[in-house]
């Protein structure tokens, strides 16, 4: 049942992913200037024939629909193309940059869950109290604060309080785990605080709904301890929409870390995507968009499968 469901979801997602890549392909080509313009700059000493040869070499002399068709055709051989700037395979670039982005997204989601779920439960249990109001204000601030502002505040606070703290200069965990954790702490916390506000609000809303259910009131009437009612009866059922949101947010984090990666000089996919757009490196842009699209599809399917473990009543169809 699950295998058939996964296959159907994957097949249905193919047109959507290709449509996204096509729209991005058109959008990046609409932007004024191309890779040849970026390379020549203002000091152009090439003849018209030499410029035409450059366009032909990069495959930019063909109509856009033909260029996109060639790119899609190459996908069947798992060929994402070659960077027009560096000459490296797009697959190699993704293999180098994805671990950084994945680590950042995973730590950010971990912070969000550690902060958001307990606060959401506390806010629901203490409904309409001072604690509830304080937590809700925290959630509102988290939703409305831009990531670069939160990151800047954290940099100033940590740099002033802890001299010698390693804020910049990414180090792989396999090289030096301590330095890696120091470098990843602030960017992960920055994104985690923002996502935690959404996790908090979803947890609170879901908990309030579950706490008003008949089986919870019955458990309380039978004298079951409040802590046991909350943790065993209410929280488990309230986590289903939180799991959905967490999966969506992980996809967002994998594809939306551009600002934070640039702010903290992290060599991840977000930073690579921004550089590729600025340099009109079309194969790299297309490869990253395709990769992120596939990741989001797989994450959504994984979330649906997790449903069945959290709540056996949920059936996949």
Kindly report the CATH class assigned to 90-310: mainly alpha
Inform me whether the pLDDT recorded for 10 exceeds 60: yes
Q: How far apart are CA 43 and CA 179, in angstroms?
A: 43
- Binning pLDDT at 50, 70 and 90, where does residue 257 land? confident
User: What pLDDT was estimated at residue 250?
Assistant: 83
- Binning pLDDT at 50, 70 and 90, where does residue 310 land? low
Indicate whether this model's pTM tops 0.75: yes
Q: What is the DSSP string of the chain?
A: -HHHHHHHHHHHHHHHHHHHHHHHHHHHHHSS--HHHHHHTT-----HHHHHHHHHHTTTTS-HHHHHHHHHHHHTTT---B-TTT--BHHHHHHHHHHHHHHHHHHHHHHHHHHHHHHHHHHHHTTTSHHHHHHHHHHHHHHHS-HHHHHHHHHHHHHHHSTT---SS---TTT-HHHHHHHHHHHHHHHHHHHHHHHHHHHHHHHHHHHTSHHHHHHHHTT--HHHIIIIIIHHHHHHHHHHHHHHHHHHHHH--HHHHHHTT--SHHHHHHHHHHTT-HHHHHHHHHHHHHHHHHHHHHHHHHHHHH-TT----
Inform me whether the pLDDT recorded for 232 exceeds 80: no
pLDDT digits (tens, 9 = 90+) for 103-155: 898 999 999 999 988 898 888 888 888 888 888 888 888 878 788 888 888 88
> Phi, psi at residue 81, to the nearest 5°?
95, -175
pLDDT digits (tens, 9 = 90+) for 165-187: 777 778 888 888 888 888 888 88
Inform me whether the pLDDT recorded for 34 exceeds 60: yes
Average pLDDT, the chain: 81
pLDDT digits (tens, 9 = 90+) for 66-115: 888 888 888 888 888 888 888 888 888 998 888 888 889 899 999 999 99
């Amino acid at each position: 049942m699950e295998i058939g469901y996964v296959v159907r979801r994957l097949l249905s997602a193919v047109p959507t992913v290709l449509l996204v890549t096509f729209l991005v392909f058109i959008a990046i080509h609409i932007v004024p200037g191309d890779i040849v313009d970026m390379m020549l700059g203002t000091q152009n000493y090439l003849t018209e024939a030499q410029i035409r040869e450059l366009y032909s070499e990069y495959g930019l002399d063909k109509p856009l629909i033909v260029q996109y068709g060639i790119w899609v055709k190459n996908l069947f051989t798992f060929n994402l193309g070659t960077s027009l700037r560096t000459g490296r395979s797009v697959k190699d670039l993704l293999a180098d940059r994805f671990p950084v982005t994945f680590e950042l997204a995973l730590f950010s989601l971990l912070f969000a869950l550690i902060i958001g779920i307990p606060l959401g439960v506390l806010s629901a249990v203490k409904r309409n109290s001072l604690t509830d109001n304080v937590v809700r204000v925290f959630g509102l601030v988290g939703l409305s604060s831009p990531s670069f502002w939160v990151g800047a505040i954290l940099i100033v606070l940590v740099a002033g309080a802890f001299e010698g703290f390693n804020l910049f200069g990414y180090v792989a965990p396999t090289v030096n785990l301590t330095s890696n954790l120091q470098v990843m702490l602030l960017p992960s916390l920055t994104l985690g605080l923002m996502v935690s506000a959404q996790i908090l609000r979803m947890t609170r809303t879901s908990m309030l709904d579950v706490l008003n259910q008949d089986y919870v009131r019955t458990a309380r009437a039978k004298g079951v301890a409040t802590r046991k009612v909350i943790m065993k009866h209410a929280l488990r059922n309230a986590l289903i929409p939180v799991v959905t949101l967490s999966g969506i947010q992980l996809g967002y984090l994998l594809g939306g870390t551009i600002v934070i990666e640039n702010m903290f000089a992290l060599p991840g996919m977000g930073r690579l995507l921004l550089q590729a757009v600025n340099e009109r490196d079309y194969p790299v842009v297309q490869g990253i968009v395709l990769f992120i699209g596939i990741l989001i599809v797989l994450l959504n399917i994984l979330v649906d499968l997790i449903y069945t473990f959290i709540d056996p009543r949920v059936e996949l169809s």
